[in-house]
Structure 1
Amino acid sequence: MNGITAFQTMMSGVRETSTRHGFKEGQLLIGKILQLFPDQKALLQIGQLQLVAKLEAPLKTLQNYVLAIDHKSGDDMILLKMVEEIPEPNATAKGMAGEILTAARLQKSPGALKLAESLVRNNIPIQEKQLVSALHWLQGVSPAQKDKAYQSIQFSLQQGYPASEGVFRSILEAMDDKPMILRLQELGRALTKEDLPGEAASNLSKVIESILKKPDEIAQAKLYSVIDAAAKGTDSEEKEIANVILQKMQAAQNKFDAAGTILQQGQPKEHQELSTVFPVVFKQEGKPVIRERAGLTEIETAWLLKLAENSSGGLEEGSHVKQLLAFIADKLGMKDEFHVFLSLKSDQQGDLEKEFHTLKPLLIAASKETEIPEIKEKAEQLIHRLNGVTFLQQEHGPLQTQWMQIPIHSEWMKSDLSIQWKLRKKANGQIDPDFCRILLYLDLTSLKEMMVDVQIQDRVASITVHNNSQHLKQLASKFSGELKNQLQEIGLNLSIFKVKSFEDKLYSGDGTGHKFGVPAERAYQGVDLKI
């Protein structure tokens, strides 16, 4: 499951209502007259929002109307004109949706009624051309994606984005349950099948390959350093075995595929050559397993497994996870837009294409370069996926909500790590580090679906881990002291650390049938990741 579908839950929990500053001329909305004032002014109820506006014509109190935003009057007050009076029998969400469509001169098709009803229920003003554009896009959406497509439109209009098919599709792709890592693998295989002449396709294939390989590279670089240390140690028996393994790795370096290649930045050249064919070690049900033995004997294999078990040769240390996330974020091109701004500001546009060797610009270039339908379609899906994550960013006054999705391929996780930050800005515009909330969603091999909720207020942290494993509470208690010490090193005090199961009532989505999914319970086997 794609963790970004969790944003549906966030949307259902907090209904944002447009303020008067967000209203645009020509928008239609449903309003109820609460009180009349002199000079054709009135107090209106628009969803949960109450405001005073100027009316173009006298209206009745306690009556619902379809109103159109005309313009602001001289005193900076919104001027509304009456489009339709809503009869009492139609004063329901469904009835008012029909009135909105009538006012917009649109047919009351089932799709149009459903869309208009969702907008009425969420108090979202709408323009006729926005409805037309949204309904036109919905016609090309598959039935399986229809419900999420309505949510995509609702979110787009709620945030004030242009009512374009590109925006709608991007947000829909961001909600796709298929992990980004699987889409990268599919595109990588499609690129490998075809002998493409263009430079963009070749560079794109290399970037995808580097993203897929990086977890193994980091884990094996650590294990290599342990073997190398044993080869230089004082124990004669261990030195002998370690040196034999290093020699066999060197001799076999051309016999294994590139999945074992380690090009760790900063690693000595001779070590790069030795580690080209590295026995790939990973943990399965808590025990290290060798996927590729590089011609090792049973004794050498047993020694290496013991070494791996004692050295925790996987991605379990915070520094390794940080290294992995930083690498993938860089390859996804999350800083590209900032570099574009700097380049344009310094009038160095000519070097932009040379500088960009990250995923998003290469996807755009490859989709333009190729005529192969499969590659073009898969590249465009990923382009929209990356754009959609950007569109999910929100800002309400001093509060910001930011999203990031990191595709990870390893033995402990073949999914995406979805991260949501809720941040607060200071008066000077800088982010306040004393107040934030971080939500992390990931799908692990052993623990399955997990969400970590970190809330920080006045440098005090409370952490809640949501997971359905029966034994995670006992395991988490063993690490709570270490977690507390680590947080203290960065100036944070841990007040609460608890593990809870997912609650269907809490993560039930918005009634459309799309949940923040919870799989069937499964007993815990092995530790996937230390937080």
Structure 2
Amino acid sequence: MSISPFLLPLLQGMMFSSPSPAIEIKPGQIFKGKVLKLFPDQMALVRIGGTQVMAKLETPLSVHEETWLQVLPQSNPIALKVVSGRQNRTGNQMGNDASPNHIKVSELLDSLGITPTKNSEEIVQYVVKNRLPLTKEMILFFRNAFQIASESKEPLSSAALRESWYKSAQIILDKNLPLTEETLKSVQMIINGPSIGSLIDKLMNAIKVLEIPSQQAADQSSSQSQQIQVMNRSQAEPQQAQVSNLSQVQSQQFPFSEQSQFIEQAIVQLRGKKPVNDGVNKLIQQLIRVLELIKGFPRMDQDNNHSAIEAIKPSESFLPQMIRKLGLAYESHVKQILFQPDAVQVPETLKGELLRLFSVLERADIHETLQPRETTQLKDAAVKLIQNLNGQQILSRNDQNHPFVNYLFQIPFSTASGEYRTLYLQMEFKKSSVGKHIDSDNCRILFFLQLDQLGDTLLDVNILNRLISIQLHTNHPMVTKVAKFFQGILSINLEKYNYRLSSMKVSSFPEEKVEEKKEMKTYQRRYRGVDIRI
């Protein structure tokens, strides 16, 4: 299941929410400038974005004239020459959207020493629209990103899809990370890929159809491959079809209790197998570890509301515990092992076990024993899950010297239908004056859930001087009545922690996409910071 269209602009807004750095004028850089004042000796006061600079104009310009300018090398004071798109304010001005009708893109590329192509012209338009420095290095950076994206299995026929790859590359640029195939695909998995819950479903389906050879008794030697059984036939309901292997399971919908039994029975069946070689033995052990980790993820079981609430409530230890289980701190633990091998033990995490699973699937004896189609399917599912986890880590990477911190997490949980869903958790907060802890007096939290009965549910919590306001977005008709019923109870419980509830509102999601985009722009401007503790 992909991210809701209502939530995606909020998440992307958080990714680019850091303040824009001061403009650094470099030789060869091209930018759109407007002449504010003229002085003798061809000197002028020029506005570049929100910055005003004194520069010498190589080409005469008039006051209020707006045009494309390029910084000349080795000039003191700064010298600027006109590139293209020269326009007077009374004429047809260039808009902020950088419309191709207003910009001679080919001339801009020629000035940068780059051969104009359709791809390069599209990159220039993206760079200008997002107000990035228009330099040769910037164009080459995005061109390399486009080359990596072109080599992926995903077609780039859609302009929206190509822009999502550019956004992923821009995040890598903002985070000051190297542009590689893995970093780009990992960010793209968060921006435009399926959720972690959907990826876990895909991994489970790949395990279900996996045929693992086993040394069987003499009366079973006619077949060297048996698939893991999902359930004991005696446990299946009479009206259900008899299931003898996992390949028959993936087309059926099982309630949570049977989904849980599938994992338990799969682990039992795997432990009972007699591997034919060392590669198969390591594969069995890795599958067991992965299944045991997935089994420990929280659940939303509608038949047992109390245990469901206890499993997913945001207690003080819930988020750190899930971060460790998913492996979002995996590299940090490995680093500690390298420098303090006796002091730290790397915990079992989903990311760590998936990396080991991928390594096992690369073994030669696995390729010789298992069906290539099945190992490819399992490997692809594992790689995409790893990319999702890497993407979360990249988007949560923050500058230690920056006063604000951004986090984005996807927490998987299973539902009553047996599917895995995703809790999206967005956090943007200011570090407190004491150390680098969260300022829990002034912060904000954003939860997003996709549930079977309630559907899309967005919970937005604002905390200002320990005064809490809650905004709940949902299209379910009964939520308003339920929220009013629990508002008094919530207020009393918050006061125990020295917080006061100021308001609690319930509203539906926008229906029309055009209105939705406008609402998102206003919503994002009000967004200041978040926290996970109430």
Paired residue for 2:476? Answer: 469
Which SS does the other structure have where 1:403 is aligned?
A: strand
Query: How does 1:42-57 map onto structure 2 within 5 Å?
Result: 43-47=45-49, 49-52=50-53, 57=58
Whether the 8 Å contact between 1:417 and 1:440 is mirrored in structure 2 is yes
The answer to whether structure 1 residue 401 and structure 2 residue 395 are counterparts is no
* Selected match of 2:386 from 366, 383, 388: 383
Instruction: Determine which of 404, 408, 415 is the counterpart of 1:410.
Output: 415
Distance 1:39 1:384 in 2: 57
Aligned residue type for 1:490: Y
Instruction: Mark the CA change 1:339 to 1:316 in structure 2 (over 3 Å): closer, same or farther.
Output: same
1:210 is displaced (CA, Å) by 3.2
**Partner Cα separation in structure 2 for residue 351 and residue 200 of structure 1:** 27
Indicate the SS of the match to 2:296. helix
- Whether the 8 Å CA contact 1:18–1:124 is kept in 2: the answer is no
Q: Which runs of 5+ in 2 are unaligned?
A: 213-277, 363-374, 524-533
Percent identity among equivalent residues? 24
SS of equivalent to 2:188: helix
Deviation at 1:130, TM superposition (A): 0.9
2:143 corresponds to which residue? 132
Q: Which aligned pairs between 1:195-344 and structure 2 lie closer than 5 A?
A: 195=212, 197=279, 201-202=283-284, 204-214=286-296, 282-283=301-302, 288=303, 312-317=305-310, 322=315, 327-344=321-338
- What whole-Å deviation, never above 9, does each CA across 1:138-191 have from its counterpart, x for those lacking one? 433423643422332344445554444433222110123522122123224434
Residue type matched to 2:112 in 1? A
When residues 58 and 174 of structure 1 are mapped into structure 2, their CA distance, relative to the original with a 3 A threshold, is same
C-alpha displacement of 1:39: 9.3
User: Tell me, what secondary structure is at the counterpart of 2:309?
Assistant: coil
Tell me how far apart the structure 2 counterparts of residues 337 and 71 of structure 1 sit (CA, whole Å). Answer: 44
Of 93-102 and 486-495, deviating more is 93-102
Change (3 A) 1:80 1:189: farther
Pick from 116, 119, 122 the counterpart of residue 127 of structure 2: 119
Most deviating of 407-416 and 171-180: 407-416
TM-score (norm 2): 0.66
How far off is 1:425 after superposition? Answer: 1.7
The answer to whether the Cα contact below 8 Å between 1:215 and 1:410 also exists between their aligned partners in 2 is no
Could you tell me how far apart the structure 1 residues matched to 2:337 and 2:498 are?
Answer: 37
Q: Could you say if the C-alpha distance between residues 316 and 69 of structure 1 is closer, same or farther in structure 2, counting changes exceeding 3 Å?
A: farther
Amino acid corresponding to residue 213 of structure 1 in structure 2: K
Q: Which residue of structure 1 lines up, in the alignment, with residue 21 of structure 2?
A: 19
The 5 A counterparts of 1:447-526 are: 447-504=454-511
Distance 1:474 1:327 in 2: 33
- Deviation per CA, 1:182-215, whole angstroms, max 9, x where unpaired? 2123224434515482787556534542344336
Of stretches 126-135 and 87-96 in structure 1, the one that deviates more from structure 2 is 87-96
Which deviates more from structure 2 when the two are superposed, residues 401-410 or residues 203-212? 203-212
* Secondary structure at the counterpart of residue 178 of structure 1: coil
The residue number in structure 2 matching 1:261 is: none
Q: Distance in 1 between the 2:176 and 2:24 partners?
A: 8
Is residue 423 of structure 1 aligned with residue 414 of structure 2? no
1:400-456 deviation line (CA, Å, top 9, x unaligned): 221111111121773110111110123454232211111111101100001100111
Distance 1:71 1:208, change over 3 A: farther
Tell me the distance in 2 between the aligned counterparts of 1:208 and 1:24. 51
Partner of 1:84: 83
CA–CA separation in structure 2 for the residues paired with 1:496 and 1:507 = 28
**Alignment pair present for 1:187 and 2:203:** yes
Other structure's SS at 1:503 match: coil
Contact between 1:460 and 1:494, CA under 8 Å: does it hold in 2?
yes
Q: Is the 8 A contact 1:207 1:331 kept in 2?
A: no
Cα deviation 1:195-253 (Å, max 9, x = unaligned):
4827875565345423443367x88xxxxxxxxxxxxxxxxxxxxxxxxxxxxxxxxxx
SS class of match (1:432): coil
**What is the deviation of 1:503?**
2.0
The whole-number CA distance in structure 1 between the counterparts of 2:43 and 2:497 is 55
* Separation in structure 1 between the aligned mates of residue 435 and residue 75 of structure 2, nearest angstrom: 30
CA contact 1:43–1:50 (8 Å) conserved in 2: no
Contact 1:473/1:499 (<8 A) preserved: yes
- Secondary structure of the residue aligned to 1:365 is helix
Q: Which moved more, 1:446-455 or 1:124-133?
A: 124-133
1:348 alignment partner AA: Q
1:86 partner letter: G
Helix, strand or coil: the match of 2:421?
Answer: strand
State the aligned residue count.
417
- For residues 485 and 64 of structure 1, the distance between their equivalents in structure 2, rounded to whole angstroms, comes to 61
Classify 1:188/1:36 alpha carbon distance in 2 versus 1 (closer, same or farther; 3 Å): farther
Asked if 2 retains the 8 angstrom alpha-carbon contact of 1:462 and 1:496, the reply is yes
Contact 1:179 1:416 in 2 (8 A): yes
Q: Let me know the Cα RMSD of the aligned residues.
A: 4.1
